[in-house]
Amino acid sequence: GAFQKKGHSARILSPEEAERLAKDEVLVSEFKQLKLEREAQKNWDLFYKRNSTNFFKDRHWTTREFQELKACREFADQKLTILEAGCGVGNCLFPLLEEDLNIFAYACDFSPRAVEYVKKNALYSTERCKVFQCDLTKDDLLENIPSDSVDVVTLIFVLSAIHPDKMHLVLKNIYKVLKPGKCVLFRDYGLYDHTMLRFKSGSKLGENFYVRQDGTRSYFFTE
């Protein structure tokens, strides 16, 4: 009952798209898959080295799309504590802090380079934000965030970058810092998104799971 779903059903494939996906059954070798898992952090760090802060656009739609950010308040000016799990270079974090002055944000990312970009941003203030490097699959969030202290966790285009076998570890981790009864806001790639259909043959790691040319990976979710 607490889980609310709003989004889009998987788009209908054209006959040509369906045929192409059906033919793409060859998986990347186990050796390469293990290498990609070992080098996941390095590949994301190189991604941010190449693209700096210029790849993703600032996300000014967060409060509009996620009404829960306002609805979870008991009174209008209540201070909220949020965790942006997988903050990248702050494309969601800084617009949110600008738009809502009653938010304190914890923010973490897999890439040390991304974390440094956040700290160098002119809008970064330790009075309103604490950012740190973290592998959500194994680094305990309690080392940086008190237990049961967060009102809202955002997982926006983050879980898709994690191996499906380890996604549950991320959820267990964020559960430890989330206040009882509070919410996780999730948005990510969906099955048959155009991004998924653009992968070339030889990119498939598993069911709905692909690797990009730069070694970063992406999973495409069903509802």
DSSP 81-129: EEEEES-TTSTTHHHHHHH-TTEEEEEEES-HHHHHHHHHSTT--TTTE
Rg (CA), the chain: 18
CATH number for the domain that contains residue 146: 3.40.50.150
Residue type, 150: V
Tell whether 2 is covered by a domain.
no
30-34, long-range: CB within 8 Å, 24+ apart, which pairs?
33/205
Q: In which domain, by residue range, is 151 found?
A: 15-52+59-219
Tell whether 131 is covered by a domain.
yes
Domains in the chain: how many in total? Answer: 1
The C-alpha atoms of residue 169 and residue 223 are separated, in whole angstroms, by 20
Residue type, 2: A
Tell whether 34 is covered by a domain.
yes
Tell whether 88 is covered by a domain.
yes
Tell whether 4 is covered by a domain.
no
Tell whether 38 is covered by a domain.
yes
Kindly give the confidence (pLDDT) of every residue in the chain, 223 residues in length, as a single tens digit, with 9 standing for 90 and above: 566 666 667 778 888 888 888 888 889 999 999 999 999 989 888 988 887 666 556 666 676 677 777 778 888 888 999 999 999 999 889 999 988 899 999 999 999 999 999 999 999 999 999 999 999 999 999 999 999 999 999 999 999 999 999 999 999 999 999 999 999 999 999 999 988 999 999 999 999 999 999 999 999 999 8
Tell whether 192 is covered by a domain.
yes
- Pairing assessment for the beta strands 178-187 and 150-156 based on DSSP bridges: parallel
pTM (predicted TM-score): 0.87
Tell whether 99 is covered by a domain.
yes
Q: Choose among 144, 149, 204: nearest CA to 175.
A: 149
